[in-house]
Structure 1
Amino acid sequence: MKTEVMEKVLNRMADKLDPKQLQELKSALVISLEGYQVTREETQLSTEVHDNWAYAQKFFQALIVAGKAKGTIDTYGMHIRILLDDIRKPIMEITDEDLMLHLARQKYGRNLSNRYLNYKRLVFRTFFGWLRRRKYISENPAELLDQIKYDVTIKKPYTDEEREKIRCSCKRERDLALVDVLYSTAARVSEVTALNRSDIDFVENGCIVHGKGGKERAVYLNATAAYHLQTYLLGRTDTDPALFVSCKTPHNRLTRSGIEEILRTLGERAGVKLVHPHRFRRTALTNAANRGMPLQDVQCLAGHSSPNTTMIYCTVDQHKVKAEHRMYLAS
């Protein structure tokens, strides 16, 4: 059992220490544990697994089976690892006070916003709720954590002028096609990076994207996006199947970070602040709603399960509200 514990410690630290440091840690463990007998504590709860991270791994497997996106699972993993490394107690002994102290240390130690802390709270609530349902723990300590209040700031879409400035700053046909596709389809950047040339139907000017949870939906190209995308594809000499690729040999598929860097450069060149892929999605959904598209159609375009999520994305045009106020409440 002593050897098993040491191996677990070394495995947990393998990605944080170099080989020499791991060897020093092993020597320190051997010396420190000499003369001690190590036994496993048994509880009346499930004893199927005994290591905190093993519980977490089972939770992640459940998320995979439930169809959660890889990005979501990776984010959950980051927050749960930070929690377990900070508290350093068996999962069944973690209390709501432990969680509150952890959040407080995170807030003041890392200067995190209340919005971010509340997201952490929701992650813990989901994780410990799953452990409770599987009877690995007797109570969910995260249920006792109150919602953390935060100021809701309006994330502004691009104005028509800002979007045109970005388009005019494009020196490559690829970049112009990318900007127009992001806006016309209102697709997530992960959905765009996954597209292949063969996915585009230039007869119908649309394609199928694979969204969160593996859900498929149709998105569409307006005339401008279709023209510049087709021009870009006709001018390519590489054989990569990806819809968007890097300009340098060997012309690999553009990644999320690659697209973000391209847009950041365009924004600096155009003099527009906060240029990133998701803002094109927000702009497209906002413009669609403000220009008369029914909410259920905007929801379908966005690929949202709930209209409430769609409304979070859509920024109401106050000029339109003012005009309608005069129309309906003039006297």
Structure 2
Amino acid sequence: MKKELINIIEQGMLGILNNEQLAKLHGVLERSFAMFAESYKETQHSNDELLKLFLSAKQVEGCSERSLKYYRTTLSKMNEKINKSVRQVETNDIRTYISNYENESNAGKVTLDNIRRIISSFFSWLEDENYIVKSPARRIHKIRVGQTVKNVYSDEDLELMRNSCNNSRDLAIVDILSSTGIRVGELVNLNINDVDFEKRECIVLGKGNKQRKVYFDARTKIHLYQYITTRNDKCEALFVSLNNPHNRLSIRGIEIILQKVGADLKSTEVYPHKFRRTLATKAIDKGMPIEQVQILLGHSQIDTTLRYAMVNQNNVKASHHKYIG
């Protein structure tokens, strides 16, 4: 490439410079290109270095360790498969990678769009930080995901779960999840001091290290208080293991508890996130403004709230009769 550029410049100057001047120009161009190449080399970062810088930026923005791990794994796999410097990656490289990933792993559209979103975020950051001129992911559009109706827990489901609980802790977990709609990650980080029983509210630390208030009903207050008063440990966590040394429950620990609680529910699977979607659906069904549901759930975008809530079809039919006829 260097020789071709020097040759093009010299050809363009043939009618203007004599042989001696052309020779001097050639020397200047050779030295200039050599200096530029050395300077360019010194300022380069490897793919791994750029990935570390990107993850550091995301950490400063407030991304959780779980999200950072997902970013790291996704981008490392991309770099390994494409096997190019990120400065040389082209749009078709990314398209081919995503297409091959779909074929090899049989991944769903949601997973593929998550991968596309992370790759796009990485290259947009590289562009913003002037590591590349233009993001090759710009022309890769959002992958369409088919709308599926996701069921929520019925009142009967929730009562069966409560009846299946054989200790006050599990009962309090079911109640607080169904009453507040908090994320399971927020639940395990709660401390006893975060709960205000008088006001029936607690402060949770959500995504991006943002604090917000969530509220619980009278039944949750009673069951939560009963659970706390039976404890004789000194752990500050709101929910702990039943056996010594009574450590704070992990996300996986909550999931296992709920699987056992829901073992008798043959019609549905019990997992933490479904409580959140159930709360959103019930709130909107009963007339709570979507903006308030958004605040309650701690969503930064209202579109996310709308995706969580599945409006009751019977209510849609009733509203049609009421407003349209």
1:227-266 mapped onto 2 (5 Å cutoff): 227-266=222-261
Query: Secondary structure of the residue that 2:204 maps to in structure 1?
Result: strand
Q: Following TM superposition, by how much is the alpha carbon of 1:148 offset from its aligned partner in structure 2, in angstroms?
A: 2.1
Which residue in 1 is equivalent to 2:123? Answer: 128
Residue 60 of structure 1 is matched in structure 2 by 55
Cα 1:160/1:133, change in 2 over 3 Å: same
How far has the Cα of 1:231 moved from its partner?
0.5
Rounded to whole Å, the distance in 2 between the matches of 1:292 and 1:44 is: 63
SS in 1 for 2:202: strand
Counterpart pick for 1:146 among 133, 141, 144: 141
Output the CA distance in 2 between the equivalents of 1:306 and 1:105.
31
Paired with 1:170 and 1:272, the residues of 2 have a C-alpha distance of 18
1:116 matched to 2:111: yes
C-alpha distance 169-204 of structure 1, shift in aligned 2 (>3 A): same
After superposition, the C-alpha distances for 1:20-63 in whole angstroms (9 at most, x for unaligned) are xxxxxxxxxxxxxxxxxxxxx95886854432111000001111
Superposed CA offset, 1:195-232 (max 9, x none): 11111111111111111111111111101111111001
Map 1:158-197 → 2, pairs under 5 A: 158-197=153-192
Residue equivalent to 2:81: 86
3-state DSSP of counterpart to 1:92: coil
Query: Mean Cα displacement is larger for which, 118-127 or 45-54?
Result: 45-54
Q: Distance in 1 between matches of 2:158 and 2:38?
A: 61
Amino acid across the alignment from 1:232? Y
For residue 144 of structure 1, give the secondary structure of its aligned residue in structure 2.
coil
- 2:60 & 2:38 partners in 1: Cα distance? 28
Taking the aligned partners of 2:39 and 2:120, their CA distance within structure 1 comes to 23
Query: Would the alpha carbon gap of residues 93 and 58 (structure 1) be closer, same or farther in structure 2, given more than 3 Å must change?
Result: same
- CA deviation vs aligned residue, 1:244-276 (integer Å, no higher than 9, x gap): 011121111001111011111222233242211
Structure 1 residue 139: Cα displacement: 2.3
Structure 2: give runs of 5+ residues left out of the alignment. 1-35
Q: Cα deviation per residue 1:5-32 (whole Å; 9 max; x = unaligned)?
A: xxxxxxxxxxxxxxxxxxxxxxxxxxxx
Q: Residue 199 in 1 paired to residue 184 in 2?
A: no
For the 8 Å contact 1:45–1:135, the answer to whether it is kept is no
Partner deviation per Cα, 1:271-325 (whole Å, 9 max, x = no partner)? 2422111110110111111112122221111112232221111111111111121
Q: Tell me, which stretches of 5 or more residues in structure 1 are unaligned? A: 1-40
Partner Cα separation in structure 2 for residue 127 and residue 42 of structure 1: 26
Name segments (4+ residues, structure 1) moved above 3 Å.
41-49
1:103 aligns with 2:98: yes
- In structure 1, give the amino acid aligned to 2:238: L
Taking structure 1 as the reference length, what is the TM-score of the superposition?
A: 0.83
TM-superposed deviation, 1:130: 0.6
Larger Rg: 1 or 2? 2
Residues in 2 aligned to 1:172 and 1:88: alpha-carbon distance in whole angstroms = 54
Task: For 1:93 and 1:279, locate their aligned partners in 2 and report how far apart those are by CA, in whole Å.
Answer: 43
Q: Encode CA deviations 1:58-95: one digit per residue, 9 max, x unaligned.
A: 00111122222332222111110111121221111111
Q: Residue 289 of structure 1 aligns to which amino acid in structure 2?
A: I
Aligned to 1:318: 313
Q: Work out which of the residue numbers 255, 280, 283 in structure 1 matches 2:278.
A: 283
Identity %: 37
What is the RMSD computed on CA atoms of the aligned residues? 1.8
- Counterpart of 2:17 in structure 1 is none
Task: Indicate yes or no: 2:204 matched with 1:209.
Answer: yes
CA 1:268–1:45: 2 relative to 1, 3 Å: farther
Amino acid at match of 1:184: S
Q: 2:236 aligned with 1:269, yes or no?
A: no
Amino acid at match of 2:67: T
